[in-house]
DNA sequence: CTCCTTATTGCGACAAATCGCAATTACGAT
DNA sequence: ATCGTAATTGCGATTTGTCGCAATAAGGAG
């Protein structure tokens, strides 16, 4: 486990909330997996270790961690997935046809964020977008 | 009803699918509402008119209409909402704190789409994004 | 107008997600 | 180390969303 260094417990307490074994298990599961996880996968992984941990608790932990921005929640191809919030933002380009996703650093989003703040007084948090579209391969061998 | 002019039926048939009363009712509901609707709201609205129309049929109609891009599906503040696809794209800036959404024309996204096509061979479909962040009011009277 | 094909619906069962409330427990204060 | 309080959990009930399959019906062909 490499995420102990990030001191999630400290961040949670600093905001007046509590670190609990249940929340720790959810964080452990997300850390072990590394990438995206559907809510159900998190439930399964957590119950691998603690079979009697209630499902509702996992769902609430995920919501809670998202609210604190320790975890990101993204809709990818009709499914909601969770992931540990990374230091540097990263994004996905999801193909509507084949469902495959490629990574994207999202560098160009900086300009958008600046503009939104200036023109709409809105501080956008663009940590983990999933943009829908059609990838190159599918554009040629049209499946839709 | 003003959406008859758009000839959804024709578009559906042209692609080899069928227009059905059930799908028409879903379109009517979305048209009558005008804005976003959660799936459950669509079910309720449709059943107002046809109480025995099955839930599963509404869900499948929504999926179907999204696949044809006659309807958009967006995750806003943890909830999935549906809306009739507009002629010109429009987007929302959703405040993570108070949940309120403001419209945004998304003009600046054009540059992003161009860049994604050139650098990643990805044809992004940016019709209806929901960007998360914090609005001006909430940034001052910190609630989180 | 009638027939045929097959897309679509309805249904019942199942799985996933949410909610209210009583019981528990984290953790700052003493 | 113990206490008190309020955040958090567990549970059961309910709601929301999905699936497989048999029955139905949309719409092109004749």
Q: How far is the CA of A21 from the C1' of C23 (A)?
A: 17
Number of structural domains (chain B) is 2
Q: How far is the CA of B87 from the C1' of D27 (A)?
A: 28
Q: What is the pLDDT of residue B106?
A: 93
Q: Where does a domain end: A53, A85, A117?
A: A85
Interface test with A, best of B85, B124, B126 (most A CBs within 10 A): B124
Question: Which residues in chain A touch residue B75, judged by CB atoms under 8 angstroms apart?
Answer: 75, 80
C chain positions with any atom within 7 Å of a protein CB: 7-13, 15-20, 25-28
Q: Where does a domain end: B66, B84, B102?
A: B84
Measuring CA to CA, how many Å separate B13 from each of A97, A101, B58, B105?
A: 20, 31, 19, 31
* B44 CB and strand C closer than 7 A: no
Q: What is the pLDDT of residue A73?
A: 93
The model's pTM is: 0.87
pLDDT tens by residue, A37-80: 999 999 999 999 999 999 999 999 999 999 999 999 998 878 89
Q: What is the pLDDT of residue A3?
A: 45
Based on the fold, state whether residues B54 and B115 are members of the same structural domain. no
Are A39 and A82 within 8 A, CB to CB? yes
Instruction: Tell me whether residues A108 and B115 touch, CB distance under 8 A.
Output: yes
Based on the fold, state whether residues B74 and B53 are members of the same structural domain. yes
Measured between CA atoms, the residue of chain A closest to residue B78 is A73
Candidates B80, B108, B120; nearest CB to A112:
B108
Based on the fold, state whether residues B129 and B104 are members of the same structural domain. yes
Q: Is A100 on the interface with B (CB under 8 A)?
A: no
Measured between CA atoms, the residue of chain B closest to residue A69 is B96
State the Cα–Cα distance between residues A63 and A55, nearest whole angstrom.
Answer: 13
Domain holding A16: CATH number?
Answer: 1.10.10.10
D chain positions with any atom within 7 Å of a protein CB: 7-13, 15-20, 25-28
Based on the fold, state whether residues B19 and B71 are members of the same structural domain. yes
Q: Is A105 on the interface with B (CB under 8 A)?
A: no
Measuring CA to CA, how many Å separate B107 from each of A109, A125, B81, B91?
A: 13, 18, 22, 10
Question: What does the DSSP assignment read for chain A?
Answer: --GGGG-HHHHHHHTT----HHHHHHHHHHHHH-S-EEHHHHHHHHHHH-TTS-HHHHHHHHHHHHHTTSEEEEEETTEEEEEEPPSS--EEEEETTT--EEEE--TTHHHHHHHHHHHH-EEE--SS-EEEEEEHHHHHS---
Q: B130 exposed, middle or buried (CB, 10 Å; 0-12, 13-18, 19+)?
A: middle
pLDDT band, very low/low/confident/very high, at B139 (cuts 50, 70, 90): confident
* B57 CB and strand C closer than 7 A: yes
pLDDT band, very low/low/confident/very high, at B21 (cuts 50, 70, 90): very high
Mean pLDDT across A121-136: 93
Based on the fold, state whether residues B22 and B54 are members of the same structural domain. yes
Candidates B115, B126, B134; nearest CB to A123:
B134
CA distance B138 to chain A (A): 10
pLDDT band, very low/low/confident/very high, at A35 (cuts 50, 70, 90): confident
Are A27 and A3 within 8 A, CB to CB? yes
The mean predicted confidence, pLDDT, of chain A is 90
Whether residue B57 is predicted with pLDDT greater than 60 in this model: the reply is yes
Instruction: Tell me whether residues A139 and B123 touch, CB distance under 8 A.
Output: yes
Measured between CA atoms, the residue of chain A closest to residue B131 is A124
Based on the fold, state whether residues A96 and A64 are members of the same structural domain. no
Phi, then psi, of B118 in degrees rounded to 5: -70, -45
CB count, 10 Å around CB of B22?
A: 16
Whether residue A36 is predicted with pLDDT greater than 60 in this model: the reply is yes
* A142 CB and strand D closer than 7 A: no
CA distance B87 to chain A (A): 18
State the Cα–Cα distance between residues A67 and A61, nearest whole angstrom.
Answer: 10
pLDDT tens by residue, B61-100: 999 999 999 999 998 878 899 999 987 888 999 988 888 8
Q: What is the pLDDT of residue B144?
A: 40
Are A52 and B52 within 8 A, CB to CB? no
Give the range of the structural domain holding residue A61, as residue numbers without chain letter: 1-85
pLDDT higher for B28 or A96? B28
Whether residue A99 is predicted with pLDDT greater than 90 in this model: the reply is no
Mean pLDDT across A107-129: 94
Domain holding A115: CATH number?
Answer: 3.30.1490.190
Based on the fold, state whether residues B58 and B111 are members of the same structural domain. no
Q: What is the pLDDT of residue B6?
A: 80
pLDDT band, very low/low/confident/very high, at A6 (cuts 50, 70, 90): confident
């Amino acid at each position: 486990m490499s995420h102990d260094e990030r001191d999630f417990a400290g961040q949670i307490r600093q905001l007046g909330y509590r670190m609990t074994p249940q929340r720790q298990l959810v964080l452990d599961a997300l850390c072990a997996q590394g990438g995206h996880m559907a809510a159900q996968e998190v439930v399964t992984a957590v119950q691998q270790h603690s079979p009697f941990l209630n499902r509702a608790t996992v769902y609430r932990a995920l919501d809670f961690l998202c609210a604190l921005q320790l975890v990101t929640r993204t809709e990818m191809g009709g499914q909601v997935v969770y992931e540990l919030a990374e230091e540097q933002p990263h994004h996905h380009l999801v193909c509507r046809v084949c469902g495959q996703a490629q990574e994207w650093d999202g560098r160009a989003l900086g300009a958008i964020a600046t503009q939104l703040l200036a023109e709409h007084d809105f501080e956008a948090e663009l940590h983990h977008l999933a943009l829908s579209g059609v990838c190159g391969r599918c554009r040629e061998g049209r499946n839709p």
